[in-house]
C-alpha cells in the first residue's frame, strides 16, 4: 500500500491507497484479482486501527509478541469497565423483559442513572487513551530508536483500551436504543 512503516500513519493516505487498490483489484474490475483483493482487506483492517497496526509493527520489527501483562492502572480500570457493563446488561434484560408500559416507565429512572455511569467510565477510558496517544506521538518522534518493551506496552495498552471503548460504546448504545 506504500505506507511508511512507522507507529503513526496518515489515516487519509491509508484510505486513499486502499480505495485506489480496491478499485484495481476488485473481482468486478477488468483486471481484478480476488486473492489480492482479499489480502488488501486484511492489510487495510490492520492499518486503520492503531491497536492492530502497532501489534503488526511490533511483530515485523521485533518478532512475535510475548504475553505481556497489563499495567496495574489498566487493571483497575478494567474492573470498573467490567462492573458497569455487567450492571448495564442486567438492567437491559430486566427492561427488555418488562411486560407492561408501566413497568418499563418505572425502570426509566434507573436507566438514566446507569447511562450516566457508563458515560462516566467512557470518559475515564478516553482520558487513558489520550495518555497513550501522547506516548504514541513520542515513540513516533524517536522512531526507530525504540525498545521492544516500550512498543509492546503501548500496543497491548492500546488494544485493551480500544476494546473497552467499543464495548462501552455498544453498551451505551443498547441502553439508549434497546437491544
Partner 1 sequence: MIVGIDLGTTNSLIGAMDAGFPVLFADEEGNRLTPSVVCFPNEGDPVVGRSAADGDDAIRSIKRQMGQGSPAQANRPSPEEVSAVILKKLKSDAERALGQVVERAVITVPAYFNEAQRAATKRAGELAGFVVERLLAEPTAAALAYGLDRMEEKSRVAVYDFGGGTFDVSILELSEGLFDVLSTQGDTRLGGDDLDAALAAELGISRAEAAAGKKDPAAAGISSSSIRKACRPIIERTKALCLRALHDAGLTPADINEVILVGGVTRMPEVREFVQEVFGREPNLSQHPDEAVALGAVIQAGILDGSVQNVTLLDVTPLSLGIETFGGLMNVLIPRNTTIPCKAGEMFTNAAANQGAMKITVLQGEREMSADNWKLGEFSIPFTPAPRGQIRVGVQFELDANGLLHVLARDVATGKDMKVEIRSAVEVSDEAVEKMLADSLEHAFEDMDDRQFTEAGLKADEMLPAVEVALERLGSGVATEEREAIAGLVRKVNEARESRSLRRLKAALAELDTATEPLAARLVEGVMDGKI
Binding site for partner 1 (CB under 8 A): 19, 22-23, 26-30, 34, 37-38, 41, 98-106, 108-109, 111-112, 169, 173, 176-178
CB of 56 within 8 A of CB of 46?
yes
| CB of 90 vs partner 1, minimal distance in Å | 15
- Measured CA to CA, the distance from residue 107 to residue 76 in angstroms comes to 30
Nearer to partner 1 by Cβ, of 63 and 99: the residue is 99
Q: Which is nearer to partner 1, 9 or 146 (CB)?
A: 9
CB of 21 to partner 1, least distance (A): 10
| 106 vs 149 by CB, closer to partner 1 | 106
How many C-beta atoms lie closer than 10 Å to residue 142's C-beta? 11
Nearest CB to partner 1, comparing residues 113 and 140: 113
Burial 93-131 (b: 16+ CB within 10 A, else e): eebeeeeeeeeeeebeeebeebbeebeebbebbeebbee
The secondary structure of the chain in percent helix, strand, coil, rounded to multiples of 5, reads 80, 0, 20
CB of 36 to partner 1, least distance (A): 12
Neighbours of 7 (CB within 10 A): 23
Nearer to partner 1, 96 or 140 (CB): 96
Of 69, 76, 174, 53, nearest to 125 by C-alpha is: 76
Q: Which residue in 58, 70, 47 sits closest to 1, CA to CA?
A: 47
Of the pair 36, 70, the CB lying nearest partner 1 is at 36
Amino acid at each position: 500500500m506504500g505506507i511508511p512503516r512507522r507507529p503513526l500513519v496518515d489515516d487519509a493516505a491509508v484510505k486513499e491507497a486502499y480505495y485506489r487498490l480496491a478499485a484495481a483489484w476488485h473481482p468486478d474490475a477488468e483486471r481484478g484479482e480476488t486473492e489480492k483483493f482479499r489480502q488488501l482487506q486484511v492489510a487495510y483492517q490492520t492499518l486503520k486501527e492503531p491497536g492492530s497496526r502497532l501489534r503488526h509493527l511490533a511483530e515485523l520489527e521485533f518478532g512475535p509478541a510475548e504475553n505481556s501483562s497489563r499495567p496495574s492502572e489498566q487493571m483497575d480500570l478494567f474492573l470498573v469497565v467490567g462492573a458497569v457493563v455487567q450492571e448495564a446488561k442486567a438492567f437491559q434484560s430486566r427492561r427488555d423483559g418488562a411486560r407492561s408500559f408501566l413497568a418499563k416507565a418505572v425502570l426509566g429512572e434507573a436507566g438514566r442513572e446507569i447511562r450516566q455511569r457508563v458515560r462516566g467510565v467512557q470518559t475515564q477510558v478516553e482520558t487513558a487513551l489520550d495518555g497513550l496517544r501522547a506516548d504514541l506521538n513520542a515513540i513516533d518522534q524517536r522512531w526507530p530508536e525504540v525498545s521492544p518493551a516500550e512498543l509492546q506496552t503501548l500496543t497491548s495498552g492500546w488494544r485493551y483500551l480500544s476494546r473497552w471503548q467499543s464495548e462501552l460504546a455498544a453498551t451505551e448504545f443498547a441502553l439508549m436504543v434497546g437491544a
